[in-house]
Amino acid sequence: MRFKKVSSLVAFIITLFATATFAQNSDSIPVRHHVTLPQAHKGTLEIDTNLLDSYTTLPANIREFYLDARSIFENNTVDFTDQRIVAAAVKNGMPLMSGPMLGDLNENGLSIWFRPASKDPIQIYVRDQTTKEERVYTLNPKVPGQVERVVLTDLSPKTEYSYSVVINGSEVAEGTFQTPSEIGETSELRLAFASDFHKIGLHNPNLMAAILKRDPIAMLLLGDLAVDDRDTNLSMHRADYLLRDLSEPWKQLAANVPLYAAWDDHDYLNNDLGGLPEGVTTEDREALRNLWAENWNNPENAAPGIYFNTRIGAIELIMLDTRSFRENDRRGEYNSYLGASQLSWLKDVLAKSTAPYKLITSGTMWSDYISDGKDSWGTWDTVAREDVYQLIETEKIPGVLLLSGDRHGARGFTIPRNSEFEFYEFGPASLGGVPGPEAIAKDSSTQLFGYLGLGLKAFGELTFSMEGEVSQVTFRLIDEYGNIMEEHTVSYDQLIP
């Protein structure tokens, strides 16, 4: 069936009830310390400690490690290999400062990311849940506090695995994951996606449990995630990543769902900033890119910036860097948003992809329906956006879906074209439940749904059903208690120009 457009009456009703409370689970955990968006942006020690204690009390040793490390980061220009931070981790009985975080999934394996606190060998025991066959992978850390990645290979497609992480004979972490089908095979595949944790949502156990219960094969995070308004203070970027990594709800998500991440303004520098604003050098930008790459477990990308593409079963995942390539002195001109190299790369990936579905993520909205395209494609580079649209139409590239973040709340749109083709855009920017712009566009004729951001803690889900005669994708918007707020299905035929 086709998506339903939002009528003016329905738009009014949705706006009125956009923050309505859905049914809570009996085992949901109430918030103990409420942190607002302005407070998260400020990010003082007291505010960030309250974030760690948002729902439960932090164990004493983890709190002590955080306080020790935070003090060092706040008063020195250092990284995690600083001997004082390593000593604080060891003193507080933390063999892993961070991790495990899953990422870079393929039909034969994935990558597991760690930040060990010592050079002690790490064993990863991986078990096939069906055959019970077990493989053992060993990591010998080089430098305490330095990020390490273990690449699991030779696994079987479309298989469920469990794993445990053992250091000095003690299990320090565990998790599960599932490999996708081989490329060319057809089977159902489910992805979760959303944006705008703004540090706040990282500590929400209800939200993380709802995501895990849906059992996605992977999750896409589209910006405004763990770092919040730290500008070029690299040490405080690291302090914010430590805040993320010590959160138990975050650890549950990262250890069980492969994650793919792209940044937006608050991750990169500060609100609405991009490119090289006054006072930011090319060296600063390169350092921020390197720091981002270090603290996420994305596929490798040889190009400058943080953009990448990868294949997950029937899906070509294309995640853009819509911040660091902006050219502030050419705002509104061609290539001022993605930059020439990234735009050329995007076109090349789209033209060559053999995947049935292509997901293209943008840190900010593709469309201009909300806030008149503020800080997005519409005010930066409509010509390059048109180039991308025309390439897809002219070359009849099938299966393209547009995903976006930044505009707090949750919305879906069609983007009509003169050719009578329509693109579909989904933007659940609601992981933190923070306030934002209007839920419904002034002209709602192209809108599929809309919810205000305040209080809305939700994520998006895409289920690709490729078995049988008709291939289709179903979008769902799901709140922190597992309630399905929106459900729409579109057939593959509707995604062919």
Statement to judge: residues 166 and 307 lie in one domain: no
For residue 451, what is the domain's CATH number?
3.60.21.70
- The pLDDT confidence band at residue 16, using thresholds 50, 70 and 90, is very low
Tokens standing for residue 376: 């997005």
115 pLDDT above the threshold of 90:
yes
Q: 349 is in which domain, residue-wise? A: 8-22+181-495
Per the domain annotation, does 1 fall within a domain? no
| Domain stop point among 149, 177, 205 | 177
Statement to judge: residues 252 and 293 lie in one domain: yes
Average pLDDT over residues 133-147: 97
Residue 6 DSSP class: P
Statement to judge: residues 164 and 272 lie in one domain: no
For 390-395, the CB contacts below 8 A with 24+ separation are 391/347, 391/350, 391/351, 392/350, 392/423, 392/497, 393/417, 393/419, 393/421, 393/497, 395/350, 395/351
What percent of the chain stands above pLDDT 70? 95
Average pLDDT over residues 377-388: 97
- The pLDDT confidence band at residue 26, using thresholds 50, 70 and 90, is low
Block residue for tokens 């738009």? 11
DSSP-assigned states of every residue in 227-278: --S-TT-HHHHHHHHHHHHT-HHHHHHHHHS-EEE---HHHHSSTT--SS-T
Residue-wise pLDDT for 305-318, tens only, equals 999 999 999 999 99
For residues 421 and 307, give the distance between their C-alpha atoms in angstroms, rounded to a whole number.
27
Statement to judge: residues 156 and 220 lie in one domain: no
Residue-wise pLDDT for 211-255, tens only, equals 999 999 999 999 999 999 999 999 999 999 999 999 999 999 999
Torsion angle, CA of 186/187/190/191, rounded to 10 degrees?
-20
Per the domain annotation, does 293 fall within a domain? yes
Pairing mode of beta strands 422-429, 189-194: unpaired
Statement to judge: residues 103 and 219 lie in one domain: no
| Domain stop point among 177, 197, 221 | 177
Neighbours of 142 (CB within 10 A): 9
Tokens standing for residue 8: 């003016």
| Domain stop point among 131, 155, 177 | 177
Q: What is the model's pLDDT at position 23?
A: 65
For residues 279 and 418, give the distance between their C-alpha atoms in angstroms, rounded to a whole number.
43
Q: Is 446 helix (H, G, I), strand (E, B) or coil?
A: helix
Q: What is the model's pLDDT at position 480?
A: 98
Neighbours of 168 (CB within 10 A): 11
Statement to judge: residues 373 and 401 lie in one domain: yes
Per the domain annotation, does 75 fall within a domain? no
Block residue for tokens 């589209």? 222
For 235-240, the CB contacts below 8 A with 24+ separation are 235/73, 235/74, 235/76, 235/77, 235/78, 235/79, 236/43, 236/73, 236/74, 237/288, 237/291, 238/73, 238/79, 238/80, 238/291, 238/295, 239/48, 239/69, 239/70, 239/73, 239/74, 240/43, 240/48, 240/199
For residues 160 and 156, give the distance between their C-alpha atoms in angstroms, rounded to a whole number.
9
Evaluate the omega torsion of the peptide bond into residue 497 and state whether it is cis, within 30 degrees of 0: no
Per the domain annotation, does 77 fall within a domain? no
For residues 315 and 401, give the distance between their C-alpha atoms in angstroms, rounded to a whole number.
11
Average pLDDT over residues 391-416: 98
Residue-wise pLDDT for 271-289, tens only, equals 999 999 999 999 999 999 9
Per the domain annotation, does 58 fall within a domain? no
Statement to judge: residues 211 and 268 lie in one domain: yes
Lowest-confidence region among 323-337, 369-383, 384-398, 455-469: 455-469
How many domains does the chain contain in total?
A: 2
For residues 124 and 155, give the distance between their C-alpha atoms in angstroms, rounded to a whole number.
14
Q: Looking at 401-496, list the stretches that DSSP marks H as alpha helix, in order from N- to C-terminal side.
A: none
Please report, for residues 10, 20, 360, 389, the alpha-carbon distance to residue 446 in angstroms, rounded to integers and kept in the order given.
13, 23, 20, 17
Q: What is the model's pLDDT at position 12?
A: 41
For residue 142, what is the domain's CATH number?
2.60.40.10
Exposed e or buried b per residue across 267-278, where buried means at least 16 C-beta atoms within 10 angstroms of its C-beta: bbbeeebbbbee
Statement to judge: residues 224 and 354 lie in one domain: yes
Statement to judge: residues 148 and 216 lie in one domain: no
Statement to judge: residues 302 and 371 lie in one domain: yes
For residues 33 and 9, give the distance between their C-alpha atoms in angstroms, rounded to a whole number.
37
* 8 A C-beta contact, residue 158 and residue 128: no
Per the domain annotation, does 173 fall within a domain? yes
Average pLDDT over residues 197-213: 98
Statement to judge: residues 110 and 249 lie in one domain: no
Pairing mode of beta strands 259-261, 218-221: parallel
444 pLDDT above the threshold of 90:
yes
For the chain, what is the largest distance between any 2 Cα atoms, rounded to a whole number of angstroms? 65
Per the domain annotation, does 338 fall within a domain? yes
Per the domain annotation, does 137 fall within a domain? yes
7 pLDDT above the threshold of 90:
no
Please report, for residues 33, 135, 208, the alpha-carbon distance to residue 57 in angstroms, rounded to integers and kept in the order given.
10, 36, 17
Length of the chain: 497
What percent of the chain stands above pLDDT 90? 91
Q: Is 91 helix (H, G, I), strand (E, B) or coil?
A: helix
For residues 199 and 249, give the distance between their C-alpha atoms in angstroms, rounded to a whole number.
12
Statement to judge: residues 350 and 256 lie in one domain: yes
Lowest-confidence region among 5-14, 79-88, 175-184, 359-368: 5-14
- The pLDDT confidence band at residue 22, using thresholds 50, 70 and 90, is low
- The pLDDT confidence band at residue 13, using thresholds 50, 70 and 90, is very low
15 pLDDT above the threshold of 70:
no
Q: What is the model's pLDDT at position 393?
A: 98
**What's the whole-model pTM score?**
0.96
